[in-house]
Amino acid sequence: MSSKQNHAQWSSRMGFILAAVGSAVGLGNIWKFPYMVGESGGAVFVLVYLLCIALIGFPILVAEWMIGRRGQKNPMDSYSAVAASEGKSTSWGFIGMVGILGAFIILSFYSVIGGWALNYMTKIAGGQFSGLDSDAVEAVFNTMLASPSTLTIWHTVFMLITGIIVALGVTNGIERAAKVLIPLLGVLLLVIVGYNLMNGGFGEAVTYLFSPDLTKLTGEGSSDIVLSALGHAFFTLSLGMGIMIAYGSYLGNDVSLLSMARTVVILDTVIALAAGLAIFPIIFSNGMDPAAGPGLIFVSLPIAFGSMSAGLVLGTLFFLLITFAALTSSISLIEPSIEFLEERTPMSRTMSVIVASIAIWLLGVAALLSFNVWSDVMIMGNNIFDFLDKLTSKFMLPIAGLAATIFVGWVMNQDSVRSELGLSGGSWTLWQIIAKFVAPIGVIIVFINTLLN
Ligand code: PFF
């Protein structure tokens, strides 16, 4: 939906939920969550992540929708409009700008991984993994990474599909398809979990994911675990990008923000945890390294598909569904840049789509080169890909999200917040404790801790 539609409202609650779930569920759940768990040592990360989702992500999701619903405009102007109506500075609109830039950067590397998923779909369909052992599967992945042209081709295809969907204005259709395809993705994850139950490594994976060693929270690197978990909570719920603010601006007053947020958060979390149970048993039963990094799902899942009887079909379908989930997120990620160009420059919508797609694509090419020819190019100790990822997840998203809770907890008139949420008595007090104190202070503590360490 573009803001040029004069702020129409969602035709149905379902439309809103589908768009929000479509944006939230994506590579963040299936590709990023497992490898971050692996890099951060397992269950401790999962525990902190779940706390961040419940105590910080959930209230910020509600806060962002509320700002959009009250402002009825694009993220920048919604902040300004609501601030102005409360007699506060309109410079809050600046936060909207951080979001536009953040979405732009995220999509650049997101599209590279979307390209990997597309490439893997064709590889599995072509039977490339049939009967391969873990070393051979890893070799296939490394060969892909070493080839700038392969990575560029698939990144281009993913970006092209995203641009075409948005240019044709068929995002609603894509979101409606999500109603069938996201649950199907869930079912396939369960099929893989079922396969794992019979093929070993399951108990080890459950312990790895759910039995935290709390001493890791005091040792060296602990603040990085917490900041990573916080950043990922924002990433996976699409917070701090202005995207949920934009969605909220199309929302009618009859919709309960709290119950909508509960649905989105539960679905998103369940899919991430299921992805963990689909991947780690394969890692352990094949003696692989859980801290292998961004390639984790690409070196583990093909092993399972390569040895299942219906692996060819299931594997192809699985990577097709991941690509689809990635597309429902990427169409939300490209929208802020397009709207910005459309509203602030004389460009038409189509021209805005073209310009935004090319600019994002170019940055994505720089990101993918960090897996091969530019692997030595470092920005503040990180290659380009990691730099873009960390800059957004660990800094831009949490800062923009922090602003959203401060705005709703402290800047907006609390009587209107209460009536907007329909809360009273104890539940209103609980909301206030979380929105005014727990969420913003949580983010601030994590930041200070990281800076001090
Ligand atoms: N939430 C998406 C995922 O988990 O894959 C990624 C994403 C979409 C991040 C939109 C941020 C965003 F604004």
Kindly give the distance from the C-alpha atom of residue 72 to the centroid of ligand 1, in angstroms, as a whole number. Answer: 22
pLDDT at 451 (0 to 100): 75
Question: C-alpha angle 351/353/358, rounded to 5°?
Answer: 100
Kindly give the distance from the C-alpha atom of residue 142 to the centroid of ligand 1, in angstroms, as a whole number. Answer: 26
Residue 162 gets the label, from left (phi > 0), alpha (psi -120 to 50) or beta, of alpha
Ligand 1 binding pocket includes 36 (Cβ within 6 Å)? no
Give the position of tokens 């104890």. Answer: 426
Round to whole Å and give the CA distance between 201 and 290.
12
- Going by pLDDT thresholds of 50, 70 and 90, the confidence category of residue 1 is very low
Q: Which of 25, 235, 241 to mutate to test the pocket of ligand 1 (most atoms within 8 A of CB)?
A: 235
Give the position of tokens 């797609």. Answer: 357
More confident residue, 326 or 4: 326
DSSP H helices, 25-133, are: 27, 33-39, 43-52, 58-71, 75-85, 93-125
Ligand 1 binding pocket includes 269 (Cβ within 6 Å)? no
pLDDT, average across residues 175-202: 92
pLDDT in tens, 79-102: 999 999 989 988 888 888 899 999
pLDDT, average across residues 162-184: 90
Question: How crowded is residue 4: how many other Cβ atoms within 10 Å of its Cβ?
Answer: 10
Kindly give the distance from the C-alpha atom of residue 236 to the centroid of ligand 1, in angstroms, as a whole number. Answer: 5
pLDDT, average across residues 223-246: 93
Give the position of tokens 């093909």. Answer: 302
Round to whole Å and give the CA distance between 89 and 92.
7
- Going by pLDDT thresholds of 50, 70 and 90, the confidence category of residue 8 is low
Residue 9 gets the label, from left (phi > 0), alpha (psi -120 to 50) or beta, of beta
Ligand 1 nearest-atom number relative to CA 24: 1
Checking if the pLDDT of 226 tops 50, the result is yes
Checking if the pLDDT of 400 tops 60, the result is yes
Ligand 1 nearest-atom number relative to CA 242: 13
Share the mean pLDDT of the chain. 92
Kindly give the distance from the C-alpha atom of residue 429 to the centroid of ligand 1, in angstroms, as a whole number. Answer: 30
Checking if the pLDDT of 3 tops 50, the result is no
Ligand 1 nearest-atom number relative to CA 332: 10
pLDDT, average across residues 297-317: 92
- Going by pLDDT thresholds of 50, 70 and 90, the confidence category of residue 280 is very high
Kindly give the distance from the C-alpha atom of residue 296 to the centroid of ligand 1, in angstroms, as a whole number. Answer: 19
pLDDT at 172 (0 to 100): 84
Kindly give the distance from the C-alpha atom of residue 245 to the centroid of ligand 1, in angstroms, as a whole number. Answer: 14
Which of 34, 146, 162, 164 minimizes the C-alpha distance to 104?
162
More confident residue, 278 or 176: 278
Ligand 1 binding pocket includes 328 (Cβ within 6 Å)? no
Q: Which of 61, 236, 339 to mutate to test the pocket of ligand 1 (most atoms within 8 A of CB)?
A: 236
Q: Which of 29, 111, 237, 238 to mutate to test the pocket of ligand 1 (most atoms within 8 A of CB)?
A: 238
Ligand 1 binding pocket includes 333 (Cβ within 6 Å)? yes
CATH number for the domain including 253?
1.10.4160.10
Give the position of tokens 């992500």. Answer: 57
Minimum CA distance residue for ligand 1 atom 7 = 238
pLDDT at 15 (0 to 100): 84
Q: How many domains does the chain have?
A: 1
Ligand 1 nearest-atom number relative to CA 31: 5
Checking if the pLDDT of 199 tops 60, the result is yes
pLDDT in tens, 331-358: 999 999 998 898 889 999 999 999 999 9
pLDDT, average across residues 374-403: 94
Residue % of the chain over a pLDDT of 70 = 97
Which of 399, 404, 372, 367 minimizes the C-alpha distance to 386?
367
**Residue range(s) defining the domain that contains residue 356:** 4-452
Ligand 1 binding pocket includes 21 (Cβ within 6 Å)? no
Ligand 1 binding pocket includes 246 (Cβ within 6 Å)? no
Which of 397, 243, 211 minimizes the C-alpha distance to 330?
243
pLDDT, average across residues 393-418: 92
Checking if the pLDDT of 5 tops 60, the result is no
- Beta carbons within 8 Å of 288's beta carbon, 6+ residues apart: 134, 138, 282, 299, 300
pLDDT at 51 (0 to 100): 97
Checking if the pLDDT of 220 tops 90, the result is no
pLDDT in tens, 43-85: 999 999 999 999 999 999 999 999 999 988 888 888 999 999 9
Ligand 1 binding pocket includes 106 (Cβ within 6 Å)? yes
Ligand 1 binding pocket includes 324 (Cβ within 6 Å)? no
pLDDT at 176 (0 to 100): 86
